[in-house]
Amino acid sequence: MPFFKELSAPVSSDRIIFHVDLDYFFAQCEEIRNPDIKGKPVIICVYSGRSENSGAVSTTNYEAREYGVKSGIPIRDAQTYLKDVESIFLPVDREYYEAISIRIMSTLKDFAIHFENTSIDEAYLDVGKIVNYNYQTSERYALHIKNKIKIIYNLTCSIGIGPNKIISKIASNYKKPNAITLIPPKKVIDFLNPLSITKLPGIGTKYKNKLKKIEVNQIQDLREVKIDTLQHMFGVKLGLYFYLASRGIHNEKVIDNKKFEQISRIITLKENTRDEKEIVNKINGLSLELYTRIQKEKIRYKSIGVIVFMDDLTIHTRSKTLDTYSDDFNNIFINSKELIKNLLNETSLKIRRLGIKIFNLEDLHGQKTLLDFINK
Ligand code: TTP
Ligand code: MG
Ligand code: MG
């Protein structure tokens, strides 16, 4: 079976980065608080207070977007566009959206080797190692993450998958809402070619107009421009960035947010198995690796998590939080063993890939707490 064969061999050492962006975030938060408003245009407003309806639209749900109502337009315009439509206008409640965001981000970070939360509704996840650098597996993994966020928080998101941050970011926005867009390395150029240059992070109206003067509108046009010209127009650093980005090249890493840090190890088994002795052996080895690392770095942990890929390609995760911080080997080993045993009790499938991790970390060098809070 070629599909399975491909799954078992790493196809490339390229990175695999997810960009997760929650759909119509502020408006969706309001919909989960009050499901009655669903289906009607929902407009979240920043009222300036100068008059009853002065101010700007923060965001809207997709029903409102059908009428041209979107982020940034004056509230008055939104009212005009929706004159005869039953619509819900609400003031921003940032504290409430932030509380939801923190919880979602702390769930998302569990799915990544490296995790970078970049705004209230966005994050990059470096997942290459978890999916064995396989793009087909990564798509299933993205679906798994989307389903988890929907089940736990009742919110939809869109995920872009690509070999670097730029491609995954453009991809997450490509087919919103509630979509996964997969751009493996060999599709990058075709994906970028027809897009407007404004899709590249960093190209706003100012640069767009500058580039328009030299007849550069699409990313494929940008690729035709010599690097010297770009550096002359935008400076050495930005010019180089545009030159590389138009070719889909971007090497910036996913930079871990300290508060979401974790340590993980993952392996593929030689053969799919349910054999207890063999599985315990592997858990022991992985636990030892984690233990060695925390001893060396003088770190304590409070939570232990496991991830298991079954032979039907389903992915399962479980975690446990201790009452107090620990630097003990047994707490890693016994708890991950227990979590995986519970998982196996719920199914007759065999395990093909297995990982364990510790998170909720505390730096024993004192002062610095790596993880201030995880509000699960
Ligand atoms: P976005 O992710 O840009 O937009 P969105 O989540 O509302 O819609 P979608 O991703 O489905 O296209 O922004 C996230 C939140 O940031 C958004 O819900 C509200 C806030 N925001 C503003 O307040 N003003 C703005 O101009 C924008 C773009 C966003
Ligand atoms: Mg969004
Ligand atoms: Mg966003």
* pLDDT per residue as tens digits for the range 196-244: 999 999 899 999 999 999 999 999 999 999 999 999 999 999 999 999 9
Q: What CATH number was assigned to the domain covering residues 262-363?
A: 3.30.1490.100
Q: What residues contact residue 127 under an 8 Å CB cut-off, 6+ apart?
A: 16, 17, 18, 111, 112, 113, 138, 141
Distance 24 CA to ligand 2 centre (A): 5
Q: Residues 38, 31: contact at Cβ < 8 Å?
A: yes
Whole-number pLDDT of residue 89: 98
Q: Which CATH architecture has domain 27-93?
A: 3-Layer(aba) Sandwich (3.40)
Per-residue pLDDT at 372 exceeds 70: no
pTM equals 0.78
Summarised one tens digit per residue, pLDDT across range 8-51 is: 344 345 899 999 999 999 999 999 999 999 999 999 999 998 89
Which residue spans of the chain are classified as CATH 3.30.70.270?
14-25+96-185
User: What's the mean pLDDT in 178-183?
Assistant: 98
- State the fold for domain 193-245: DNA polymerase; domain 1 (1.10.150)
Looking at per-residue pLDDT, the higher value among 1 and 87 belongs to 87
Residues belonging to the active site: 122
* Number of the ligand 1 atom closest to the C-alpha atom of 28: 18
Res 105: pLDDT: 94
Q: Is any atom of ligand 1 closer than 6 Å to the C-beta of 117?
A: no
Q: Classify 350 in phi/psi space as left (phi over 0), alpha (psi -120 to 50) or beta.
A: beta
State the Cα–Cα distance between residues 197 and 309, nearest whole angstrom: 39
Between the CA of 301 and the centroid of ligand 1 the distance, in Å, is: 35
Kindly identify the ligand whose nearest atom is closest to the C-alpha of 60: 1
Report the C-alpha gap between 133 and 19 in whole angstroms.
16
What whole-number percentage of the chain has pLDDT above 70? 93
In the chain, which residues fall in CATH 3.30.1490.100? 262-363
Mean pLDDT in the chain? 91
Tell me the pLDDT band of 313, cut-offs 50, 70 and 90. Answer: confident
Could you tell me if the CB of 74 is within 6 A of ligand 1? no
Atom of ligand 1 nearest to the CA of 72: 26
Domain with CATH 1.10.150.20 in the chain: 193-245
Please work out whether the CB of residue 177 comes within 6 Å of at least one atom of ligand 1: yes
Neighbouring CB atoms inside 10 A of 94's CB total 13
Give ∠ CA 222-184-208 in degrees, rounded to 5: 20
User: Does the structure show a pLDDT above 70 at 195?
Assistant: yes
Which region among 178-182, 254-258, 311-315 has the lowest average model confidence (pLDDT)? 254-258
Please give the distance, rounded to the nearest whole angstrom, from the Cα atom of residue 58 to the centre of ligand 1. 7
- Asked if residue 309 has its Cβ within 6 Å of ligand 1, the reply is no
Confidence band, pLDDT 50/70/90 cuts, at residue 364: low
Taken as a whole, the chain contains a residue count of 376
Q: Lowest-confidence range among 124-133, 206-215, 260-269?
A: 260-269
- Of the candidates 83, 82, 102, 105, the residue with the CA atom closest to the CA atom of residue 94: 102
> 14-25+96-185 belongs to which CATH class?
alpha beta
From CA 115, how far away is CA 108, in angstroms rounded?
8
Residues of the chain within CATH 3.40.1170.60 domain(s) are 27-93
**Segment 321-330 mean pLDDT:** 94
